[in-house]
Structure formats: C-alpha cells, structure tokens
Structure 1
C-alpha cells in the first residue's frame, strides 16, 4: 500500500508541476506576442490538392532558383521523398544559391542528425524552430511552428497544409490518398511570406535579414485580392470568431481536426440559430489517436441544431478551409482546433476574389461529395473502445 501511495503522490506532483509550468509559460507567451497582419495584397494564386502535382511544381521551381530559397516545414520525413527534397536543396546550395531550411523541432524530431549535418556541409543554412528550453520546458514543448512556407528568389511563395514525406504523395496504405490544399503565390503577397519566414529565422538564429533589399524584389501585382495573417497561439480564435459572427447565409469548414474553442463553438451555434447554413467536413479515418473522438461532443450538438457534417471517405482529409458567405475564403496551415487557436504558430491566406473563392468552394464541394453524411445515430452508437477514447480525449483536447 505504501508503494501505491508513493506512486500516486508522485503522479499528482508531476501533474501539478506540469500545470504550473504550462500556466506560467502561457502567461509569459501572451505577454510577448502582438497581433500581426499584413495589408491587402494583389497576387496570382494557384491551388494544389494533390501532392504529386504540388511537389513536381515546387521541386521544379526550386531547381530554377537563382538567388535564394527559404523553406519552413513542420514535418520533413526521412524517406525517399524527404531525402530527394534535401538533395535538391543541397545541389542548389553547392551551386552558390543561398538556402535556408527551418524545421519544427517536434515535427522533425525523427530526422537523423547525420542528414542535418550533411545539409550543413553542403552549405545549407539550417536551424530547428521551437526547441524546448528552460524555463517552462513543458509549455515550450507544446508550442509548435506549424507553418509551411517556401519563398524562392523573393518572387514566388507557397503556403498551405502539405509537409514533405511519402504519405503526402499517397504512399501510406492507411492514409491513401492524401487530400490537402496548398497555395502558390506570385505577386505582392510573397513579400509577406518572406517577412514571416525571416522573422521566424531571426527568432531561432538571431540573424537579422529583414533589411536586405535583395530578399524583396519589386513585386508584380496580380488579380486576386488577399491578405496574409500569421498567428502565434493567439488572435486566430478572434479572427475566426469575427468571420463566423459576420456570416449571413453560409459557413463551410474543412479541417482534419475539429476541436473548437468554447467561443468558436458558441459562435457556430449562434449562426445556426439565426438561420446560417453550416457545413463541416472532417476525415472519416484519423491520422492520430483521440482526435476524431475529441470532436464527437461538438459534432453531436451541431448536428442536433441543424449543421451538416460529413466524414471524408476517399482517403485522409488534411485540408484547412473556411468559407463565409462566398465572400471570403481562408486556407493555410491552421486547423480548426484548440492547438492551432492557442498553441501553434500558424499562417493563413484570406482571399476575397470571387473567382478564387468559387474555385476553392468547388474543390470543397467535390470533397464533401466524397464524404459520408454523419447523423446523431452514427455518433451516439459507438463501440466501447470509442466511448473510452472520447472520455480520455475530453480533458486533453487542448493538446491533440
């Protein structure tokens, strides 16, 4: 009995220490951040929904870079596609092109040190983003750089949901095919992607590059009106809340994880009460434990109030999209969950052009057709395992 009592006491103390670490770390984090948004821009924007098309284009553009390549990914896998991507970057560095590669520490934890060293030896400027450090080790380990940014010669950029690895090119049996949205930006918006990359780079390396004019060549204006808005564990909830509260006719949401904050959840319920059509698309097959079960309490209530909820059944749905009244479309790196709202560093593109919104909505509606409409019966008649997982998911939903 003494041993059991000691184990329980140790467990409680560990939980208490983690709680204190998290609360104090969060307080320090909030004191150091500020709202960031860029002006309305005009750019050309192309949309990719398949990994093979995206990476064929991305690799080709990188191979044609003349001056610099700046890359930030949350995940880079040590597999044939990840190694090919690194080899292209190494080749460009050996040619004399400036190459900077920034990877999230947690997302790329499994990348072997040997590969990192080889990249550095080839001339790639490399750094990890958001390595845990004292104080508040637990809190800082939870704050991830979830952004995906590539900027080439300061003239074109990429932003979206894809990372680099075989599953993103449909070679994971469980998650095949992979469905995602990624944007290629050519025009004024590229400067904003460049600034965010360089700010993240400076945070990790203390190398200040924002004042170097060669990274910001004169942009060519494009037809699509849009705005780049980054977030750092704050303000994303406020931005989404304002958009949802302003909806008059329709709200379309697509996300691999649907775990809204209390504020966002109440906004969605209020929208349904005033007659707004709400459609939500989530994966039928999850890629992580507990994330699907964590969404069930929210989805049950929304369905009971009249929302249309679909489970994507043609593979794994990893796309992020929010369309309000066919007048604004958001897509980028942020998921519709508490982690993106309150912890992760994210970056999104808010588009206001009718043509690109129509294109994005058509893509979304195609994916909805590849889904199964979920009912209260589906979410109320769970297996015993699912019920246990939902029970466990509730208190940890902030970290999923």
Structure 2
C-alpha cells in the first residue's frame, strides 16, 4: 500500500471513529438525561439590550454582594474588560464573599492562567466544565455549556446572551455595536437559576453548597425557567409554535433550525400564522450566515418576512408568540444549541414585559433591511460554496 493510500485509510478510520464516538456518546447522554421542570414563578424581570447598561447594573450588583456570587459564563476573553471582571470578583472575595466561577472549557480557554492563579489565591473557587473526556471524546469535545448566568446573594439573577469580552461593550470595531437581550430577575426563580448552577458546579467539581432562598417577592410578573442539555428543548419549542395563532417572531444570530422544528414553523405558516425572522447581516462565523439561506428561502417562499440587522451584530435569542408568550435565554435557534449544548431559557407570560420586548424588536427591525427571495437566488459563487459546505456540517456550527 502506497503512502497516499495509507494516509487515506488513516483519515477514513479517524472520520469513522469520530462519527461513531459522537453518535454513541449522544445516544447515551439522551438515555441518561432526566427532564427538569420548574413551575411558573412570580418576580420582577428587567430587559437589558445594551452592554454598557447591562454591565453598569451587573457590576453594581456584584459590589453590593454580601454572601455569595455564583457565575457561569460560556465565554470569558483575555482582554481589559475581562481583566476588570476578574478584579471585581477578587475585591469581593477579599471582603469575605464566597465567589464561585464556572467556565466552559472551550469558551474560557483564552483566560490567562495567571488570572486564575491570582483569583484562587484570594479565595475564589474556579472550575472548568465540559472538558473533553473518554470514552466519548468527540461527543464531549462538541458538547458545550453555553449558559450565561449569575446569582448574587441568592436574591438577584442574570441570564441571556451576553458573555465577558470587549465586543459585548462595543469595543470590537468589527462587531460593534453589539445588540443582545439579557434579563435581570428578582423573585422566586432566582432559586431555580441557582439550582441549575449548583448542578453544573457539582458535576464539574464534585462539591455541593446550600442554596439561599430568595426573599418573598412583591412582584407578580409570571415566568419560568427551562434548562436544556440537548434533549427535549426541540419538543418544547415545537409545542410553543403549535400554539401560535396569529404571529411568530424569531430573533437569533444563527437561524439553522433542526428538521422537526423547521417543519413546525412551516406548518404554522400553512395555517395562517405570520412568521418574522430577524438575523444579523454581519456574521461572527465564516459559515453560519450562509447556513441559514436554505431555511430563509423557504420562509420567504411562504410569504414570511426576513430582516437582516445592519447596525452592528445582532446576538439576541428571542421568540415572541402572539404577543402572549416570550422566550429569552441563552439558546440560539440552531442545531448546536437545541440538540447538543447546555442552555437555559426563560419563558415569560407578563404582557407588559412582552410589550417591552416587542418594542425592542421593532427598534432592531428599524435598523434592518428586508431580505427578498430573489436576493437568495442570485448569490455569488463563494456564498453558494459556503452554503453547500455549511449544510453538510450544520449540526456542528
């Protein structure tokens, strides 16, 4: 056997091993996973759509902490803003606040080891989750903890699309301004959010801690948390879409829905539901924009509406159904978030809050251009090549 043939055989064996490893690992994960459901809670929700506004409130809450700070971010970068984040945590740890920081192994890979060492030296507990591991190395390498959550003193919670890095506060010239949706919450659901953090923390470290129960809430904005780990979230979203009677609005940076979920959208359109999709025109990934074209053509062909956000980068994850149900969280509208990653979303039933979300979407649409079907049938050769390649690997984008 020649050297070229040997190399081809080795590549074939690696690809076959990766395929088997990934799918068996995913199958076993699905069989072991148990649904976790939280009830509808009362509380106060605040929508934040600007990074500067978010982190002004966020750092203020961190500075006010007296007992515990629990944080899980998918991404923390190696830049001045990320360093300021670590400095804020160190100051609180020195004051005696118990700080636990959980980072995704892949998303937090650029955090300098020196920062970790200095943080641990002042008492901050830091762990990495979702490290690649045997026996299913390929599956564990692809499964990420994509959650972005914070719980302060068991009383205040945060979740949504923002991570820690300079682009999130509009300091990256390529992606600025950054448009995202994040929720600050007070009330009963903070304990549910902390319960999810506890489970992720315990799986990463083997250690547990006592959850602080929130103070009784004076607010009555109904909502509930829905955690997912690549299992059942597609069914949940399908059930929501099947309830739509008049309108369905989807805002997402990556519109690459799994087959059954997209079929539910098409079925909604067939029964007269008006579907609007808002995606960014600018991309932060070389293939995800082109991966959406196959689906957007079908939306447009059924008289749906597609907007491309032009004022920076749109990263929000939001769904609004009939103006009555709103979903904001960490999950993108793509294969990876829905069928693979660990995510957490918040389903909101408070009409006043939903009206605020609709106003934010209307503002984003004002900064968008409407995509036409003919635009997607006259793509340059490079875009057509990207679309073909992205379709093949859509499950891993």
Do they superpose with TM above 0.5?
yes
Cα root mean square deviation, aligned: 1.0
Structure 1 equivalent of residue 16 of structure 2: 16
SS in 1 for 2:71: strand
Structure 2 equivalent of residue 336 of structure 1: 333
Alpha-carbon deviation of 1:221? 4.0
Partners of 1:51 and 1:109 in 2: CA distance: 22
CA contact (8 A) 1:188 1:221 kept: no
Change in Cα spacing, 1:227 to 1:217, as seen in structure 2 (3 Å) is: closer
Structure 1 equivalent of residue 273 of structure 2: 276
CA contact (8 A) 2:148 2:161 kept: yes
Q: When the two structures are superposed, what TM-score results if normalisation uses the length of structure 2?
A: 0.98
CA deviations on 1:51-82 (whole Å, 9 max, x unpaired) are 01100110011011000100000001111110
SS in 1 for 2:393: helix
Q: Does 1:315 align with 2:304?
A: no
Alpha-carbon deviation of 1:369? 1.6
SS in 2 for 1:119: helix
Unaligned runs of 5+ in 2: none
CA contact (8 A) 1:130 1:144 kept: yes
Partners of 2:258 and 2:57 in 1: CA distance: 36
1:305 aligned to which of 287, 302, 306: 302
Superposition map of 1:66-85 within 5 A: 66-85=66-85
Superposition map of 1:138-217 within 5 A: 138-209=138-209, 212=210, 215-217=212-214
Superposition map of 1:34-53 within 5 A: 34-53=34-53
Partners of 1:305 and 1:9 in 2: CA distance: 46
Partners of 1:253 and 1:317 in 2: CA distance: 12
Alpha-carbon deviation of 1:177? 0.3
Q: Does 1:386 align with 2:356?
A: no
Structure 2 equivalent of residue 358 of structure 1: 355
CA deviations on 1:252-297 (whole Å, 9 max, x unpaired) are 0000000001101111111111110000000101101110111110
CA contact (8 A) 2:319 2:327 kept: yes
Structure 2 equivalent of residue 244 of structure 1: 241
CA deviations on 1:129-168 (whole Å, 9 max, x unpaired) are 1111111111001110000110000011001000011000
SS in 2 for 1:123: coil
Q: When the two structures are superposed, what TM-score results if normalisation uses the length of structure 1?
A: 0.98
Q: Does 1:377 align with 2:377?
A: no
Superposition map of 1:70-149 within 5 A: 70-149=70-149
Structure 2 equivalent of residue 61 of structure 1: 61
CA deviations on 1:169-199 (whole Å, 9 max, x unpaired) are 0011111100000000011111111111111
How many residue pairs were aligned? 397
Structure 2 equivalent of residue 261 of structure 1: 258
Which aligned runs of 4 or more in structure 1 are off by greater than 4 angstroms? none
Unaligned runs of 5+ in 1: none
Alpha-carbon deviation of 1:124? 0.3
Partners of 2:24 and 2:36 in 1: CA distance: 23
